[in-house]
Structure 1
Amino acid sequence: MKAAILKAFGSPLVIEDVPAPVLGTGEVIVDVVAAGVLSYAKEVFSGQRPYLLETPVVPGAGGIGRVRAFGPDATRLSVGDWVFCDPIVRSRDDAIAPDITLQGLSAGNAEGGLRLQRYYHDGSYAEQMLAPTENVARIPDFDGAQAAQWCGLASLLVPYGGLSSIALRAGETLVVNGATGKFGSAAVEVALAMGAGRVVATGRNPAVLEELGRRFGPRVRPVVMAGDEEADRAAILKTASGPIDCVFDILPPRATPAQVRAALLTVRPNGRVSLMGGVGMQGGEDLGLPYRWIMRNNIRIQGQWMCPREAVARMIGIVNAGLIDLGRREVTTFPLAEINAAIDHAAANAGPFSLTVVQP
């Protein structure tokens, strides 16, 4: 079969013939139809982002495809089923604290994640891929012509994991801190689908904030951040026009702790906070949160990396119910042979409403 291979960091991917995957118990082979290309894939493959990924490797984190074969432990799948391949692979020998690897992207920071990666080594930039049975989610009543659009599911699942972890409820007011990026804008969309009564969307890009309001209506209330912690906090509180139940932070590594605190400290007593961003990951000071304020106000602060397994089926249900329209994104597709052009395109079109997809 054909596959795109990263032979070394800093080199372009090459298309080669490689052996097709061999089925084992507890596994599924999927014919890949569409796989999303991350906007920062070029940074990963160049080595600029030091992800734990052993080369040579077929990269690609998840995608949409059809079941080719499955092991004896699968009781609901059929050959030909349309499925979403979840790249979050978990070890099976520790249900409480499993090791995790992102198939085709990163083993995280743990030795156990690297051991998983060495087995589920190759990702979705190939004509076929091997995945654990539990990572293959069937999409009911699926129109194959929409396969590229459905790659947008991946960006929705990340904030859904964070919002679910703090049990966002219908009618609540939520602050999305960092709403102008791909995951932040997805958080706005997911929160509205979950029933949020009001979403205060913060960011430094007025044009994107205005677009969020235009696309999603008056329940979205934009706040342009100025970079002054106290002034930004006051602006968030004024725009919310009432108690803030939850804060979801998805700011990137280049953001400062003050930008996180500006939003986090707006949450009401007994409020909840989800941290999914990257602040501090490239060095620098940590958040420096006030212990006394957290304790006296019963604040729940929840860290969340990616999403739990059941989130995939639930998000598929949300989309199929019409609560989220995957057709809102501008999708650009590339054949597998043009994978390097796809990576360049994704980097140049990193906006929240664009999606780059490779179709093996």
Structure 2
Amino acid sequence: MKAAVLKSFGTPLVIENAPEPVLGTGEVIVDVAPDIALQGLTAAGAGGMLLQKHFRHGSFAERMRVPTENVKRLGAITSEEAAQWCALGTLLVPYGGLLAANLQAGETVLVSGATGNFGSAAVSVALAMGAACVVTPGRNETILADLVRRFGSRVKPVKLTSNEDDDREAMKRAAPGPIDCVFDIMPPSVSPTVVRAAVMTVRAYGRVVLMGGVGMAGGAGLELPYPWIMRNCITIHGVWMYPPDAASRLIALVRSGLLRLDDYKTTAFDLDHINEAVAHAAANGGPFKLTVIRP
């Protein structure tokens, strides 16, 4: 079969013939459609490394081997729809966080990092799950305006100023009532004061979900006042990715019409143009944009 192979870091991918994957116990062979994958990025502990070694080849090929429990049925889709279904790879990340937050219909959510790729996905997922209002702080006014254009008056944008106290009060004022849940997915480059300003908008007995990267690239970590957490009975939940049943549940949200994939603009490349696809993805990142490979 044809596959794109990385021979060494810093070099272009090479298209070559590779052996067909061999079916093992508890595994399936799938024909690869458009691709978004975390495979090969992280492995926590010795067990994770064993899995990475066994399932070491990703989906830049015509077929790949995956564990049976990781395969979920999409149902019938057309070739034209296939590229947009790749958005599940992005949407599943914030969906996992909002499930952990036990988001309920009618609640108010604040998405810290709303103008980023995963943050914008969190806005769409929260609304699909029934959030009455999503507060969207950020510095990029163009993206903030685009979120309002896409999703309407349930989105409440807030332009950040870098003053922690002022920003916190502005976020509170933007919400029509108490903020029930704060979802943070800020990148490592962001100052922890920006994250703290958002986190501390949550109401008493509220929930905070941390899925971002503050402190992961060095520098100061997130500091929150112990008395504020304790006296307000704040629940803080760190979340890595999503539970096993999240994919099936998110597919159901799409099938119901509550979560729309047509917000995503997709650009597809065939496998022979894999390096052009990589260059395109690097130059065209951002909210609601997908670069996909169609072998």
The question of a shared fold, defined as TM-score above 0.5 by the shorter chain, is answered with yes
Distance, in Å, in 1 between the alignment partners of 2:8 and 2:227 is: 49
Shift of 1:109: 4.1
Distance, in Å, in 1 between the alignment partners of 2:243 and 2:8 is: 31
In structure 2, what residue type is equivalent to 1:205? N
- Paired residue for 1:187, among 105, 108, 122? 122
Residue ranges of structure 1 left out of the alignment (5+ in a row): 37-60, 62-101
The answer to whether residue 169 in structure 2 is matched with residue 234 in structure 1 is yes
Distance, in Å, in 2 between the alignment partners of 1:311 and 1:198 is: 23
2:137 counterpart residue number: 202
2:266 counterpart residue number: 331
Distance, in Å, in 2 between the alignment partners of 1:115 and 1:285 is: 33
Name the stretch that deviates more: 336-345 or 185-194: 336-345
Distance, in Å, in 2 between the alignment partners of 1:253 and 1:318 is: 30
2:212 counterpart residue number: 277
1:13 counterpart residue number: 13
DSSP 3-state at the match of 1:327: coil
Please show how residues 40-119 of structure 1 align to structure 2 within 5 Å: 61=37, 102-103=38-39, 105-119=40-54
In structure 2, what residue type is equivalent to 1:219? R
Runs of 4+ in structure 1 deviating by more than 3 angstroms, as ranges, are none
Distance, in Å, in 2 between the alignment partners of 1:305 and 1:196 is: 22
Q: Identify if the C-alpha distance between structure 1 residues 357 and 195 changes in structure 2 by more than 3 Å, giving closer, same or farther.
A: same
DSSP 3-state at the match of 1:189: helix
Distance, in Å, in 2 between the alignment partners of 1:109 and 1:7 is: 24
DSSP 3-state at the match of 1:35: coil
2:23 counterpart residue number: 23
Equivalent residue pairs, number: 295
- Paired residue for 2:57, among 91, 104, 122? 122
Shift of 1:341: 1.0
Q: Given that residues 43 and 52 in structure 2 are in contact (C-alpha distance below 8 angstroms), is that contact kept between their aligned partners in structure 1?
A: no
Give the TM-score normalised by the residue count of structure 2. 0.98
Q: Given that residues 148 and 155 in structure 2 are in contact (C-alpha distance below 8 angstroms), is that contact kept between their aligned partners in structure 1?
A: yes
DSSP 3-state at the match of 1:271: strand
Which is richer in helix?
Answer: 2
Give the TM-score normalised by the residue count of structure 1. 0.80
The answer to whether residue 282 in structure 2 is matched with residue 353 in structure 1 is no
Distance, in Å, in 2 between the alignment partners of 1:251 and 1:22 is: 40
DSSP 3-state at the match of 1:268: strand
Shift of 1:173: 0.5
The answer to whether residue 70 in structure 2 is matched with residue 135 in structure 1 is yes
Q: Percent identity?
A: 58
Shift of 1:152: 0.6
- Paired residue for 2:153, among 218, 225, 229? 218
Q: Given that residues 84 and 264 in structure 2 are in contact (C-alpha distance below 8 angstroms), is that contact kept between their aligned partners in structure 1?
A: yes
Distance, in Å, in 2 between the alignment partners of 1:288 and 1:353 is: 32
2:224 counterpart residue number: 289
DSSP 3-state at the match of 1:34: coil
In structure 2, what residue type is equivalent to 1:2? K
